[in-house]
């Protein structure tokens, strides 16, 4: 029985992974889509952003008829500040991020941006204010310039170059055979993981949205790339409301607020110092488990 069960279990797991890959791809496409053709709620108005303060109020969510993966979540991501989501795999961190551009709607509760329920505003106005940098940046067929321009189709060449400079991508782009006109994607040049990430950050910068959703990479890049990506991210995060799924201690320590998730709930929240000092706290325990040698891997 066990032998028959194992492959079935593996298959089921693969299925979930495939579904998640589809969601991630959709997330990229739709955030970039400047004219989404979705039907709006009748009477939906455009989102008006001032501070870009995000508030989750009693948010619950389940994928289809499955068990709830978020169970009455309450938190605030302050405008212009960085909020880090941490916690074990499956805790619900990615799901929290997915609800902000409305790839899914909560089954209970609501999400507010500057006091407006995102369920009541047009999706195009909502997504216009959001940029997303994923763990595995997607490159479209086309040139490097096209790939950055996906962030904002009306961006000028000068704006694209400016974003690339800020993202520490300009120098490696210039070193390509055709510079900004070098084709990438399946039929183009191969870029390293760090270069792809910097292009994706340039794409987010050219979008110039006040909200940045970030899924921090777990896989290590080479040291030089890593340093460039970190500097690029610091630029992109400055002055924006950032919600980051954080895996690195350095990111977590810099965050203005840390939300520790566990099994679809918020177990703890606070700053690194306040959480690290908490007796018997989950964060404190994780922090102590942190091997000093692999200094920057948190979870
Ligand atoms: P990780 O760090 O592994 O990405 P996470 O904390 O981000 O984990 P989520 O990805 O939000 O957690 O997943 C929460 C739960 O929801 C998990 O049990 C996961 O299997 C499930 N889940 C996530 N996406 C889907 C989906 N598209 N369909 C069905 N279940 C999903």
Task: Note the ipTM here.
Answer: 0.95
Q: Flag whether pLDDT at 251 surpasses 60.
A: yes
Q: Flag whether pLDDT at 293 surpasses 50.
A: no
What's the mean pLDDT when you consider all of the chain?
85
Measure the CA angle with vertex 298, ends 284 and 209; round to 5°: 110
C-alpha 32 to ligand 1 mean position (Å): 23
Residue nearest to atom 9 of ligand 1 (CA): 92
Q: Is 247 in the pocket of ligand 1 (CB under 6 A)?
A: no
Radius of gyration of the chain (CA): 20
Q: Is 201 in the pocket of ligand 1 (CB under 6 A)?
A: no
DSSP summary character for residue 74: E
Q: How confident is the model at residue 1 (pLDDT cuts 50, 70, 90)?
A: very low
Q: How many residues does the chain have?
A: 299
At 290 the pLDDT is: 65
Task: Give the residue, 28 or 116, on which the prediction is more confident.
Answer: 116
> Percent of the chain having pLDDT more than 70?
83
Q: Which residue has the tokens 């889509």?
A: 33
Q: Is 90 in the pocket of ligand 1 (CB under 6 A)?
A: yes
For a pocket test of ligand 1, which of 15, 16, 60, 96 has the largest count of ligand atoms closer than 8 A to its C-beta? 16
Contact 283, 277 (CB under 8 A): no
C-alpha 61 to ligand 1 mean position (Å): 11
Residue 71 CA from chain centroid, whole number: 21
Instruction: Kindly state the helix (H) or strand (E) to which residue 193 belongs, with its residue range.
Output: helix 193-207
DSSP summary character for residue 67: -
Task: Give the residue, 56 or 196, on which the prediction is more confident.
Answer: 56
Q: Is 92 in the pocket of ligand 1 (CB under 6 A)?
A: yes
Residue nearest to atom 24 of ligand 1 (CA): 20
Instruction: Kindly state the helix (H) or strand (E) to which residue 84 belongs, with its residue range.
Output: strand 82-86
Q: How confident is the model at residue 117 (pLDDT cuts 50, 70, 90)?
A: very high
pLDDT, tens digit (0-9, with 9 covering 90-100), for 190-235: 898 889 889 999 999 999 999 999 988 776 667 777 888 888 899 8
pLDDT, tens digit (0-9, with 9 covering 90-100), for 65-98: 899 999 999 999 999 999 999 999 999 999 999 9
Q: Is 35 in the pocket of ligand 1 (CB under 6 A)?
A: no
Closest atom of ligand 1 to 261 CA is 6
Contact 133, 212 (CB under 8 A): yes
Q: Is 89 in the pocket of ligand 1 (CB under 6 A)?
A: yes
Residue nearest to atom 17 of ligand 1 (CA): 90
Q: Is 23 in the pocket of ligand 1 (CB under 6 A)?
A: yes
Q: Is 91 in the pocket of ligand 1 (CB under 6 A)?
A: yes
Q: Is 68 in the pocket of ligand 1 (CB under 6 A)?
A: no
DSSP summary character for residue 87: -
> Percent of the chain having pLDDT more than 90?
55
At 34 the pLDDT is: 43
Closest atom of ligand 1 to 20 CA is 27
Q: Is 19 in the pocket of ligand 1 (CB under 6 A)?
A: yes
Residue nearest to atom 20 of ligand 1 (CA): 90
- Report the predicted TM-score, pTM, of the whole model to 2 decimal places: 0.86
Residue nearest to atom 2 of ligand 1 (CA): 89
């Amino acid at each position: 029985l066990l032998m028959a069960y194992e492959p079935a279990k593996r298959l089921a797991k693969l299925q979930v992974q495939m579904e998640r890959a589809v969601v991630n791809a959709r997330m990229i496409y739709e955030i970039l889509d400047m004219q989404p053709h979705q039907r709006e709620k009748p009477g939906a108005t455009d989102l008006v952003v001032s501070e870009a303060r995000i508030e989750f109020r009693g948010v619950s969510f389940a994928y289809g008829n499955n068990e709830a993966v978020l169970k009455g979540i309450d938190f605030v991501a302050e405008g212009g500040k960085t909020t880090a989501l941490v916690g074990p795999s499956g805790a619900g961190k990615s799901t929290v991020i997915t609800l902000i551009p409305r790839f899914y709607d909560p089954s209970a509760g609501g999400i507010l941006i500057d006091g407006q329920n995102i369920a009541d505003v047009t999706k195009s106005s909502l997504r216009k204010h959001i940029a997303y940098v994923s763990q595995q940046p997607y490159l479209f067929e086309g040139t490097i310039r096209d790939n950055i321009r996906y962030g904002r189709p009306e961006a000028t060449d000068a704006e694209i170059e400016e974003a690339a400079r800020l993202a520490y991508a300009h120098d490696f782009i210039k070193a390509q055979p055709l510079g900004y006109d070098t084709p990438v994607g399946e039929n183009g040049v191969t870029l390293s993981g760090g270069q792809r990430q910097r292009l994706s950050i340039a794409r987010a910068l050219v979008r110039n949205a006040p909200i940045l959703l970030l899924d921090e990479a777990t896989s290590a890049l080479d040291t030089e790339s890593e340093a460039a990506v970190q500097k690029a991210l610091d630029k992109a995060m400055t002055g924006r409301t950032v919600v980051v799924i954080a895996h690195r201690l350095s990111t977590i320590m810099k965050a203005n607020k840390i939300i520790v998730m566990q099994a679809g709930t918020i177990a703890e929240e606070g700053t690194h110092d306040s959480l690290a000092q908490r007796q018997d706290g989950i964060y404190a325990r994780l922090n102590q488990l942190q091997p000093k040698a692999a200094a920057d891997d948190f979870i």
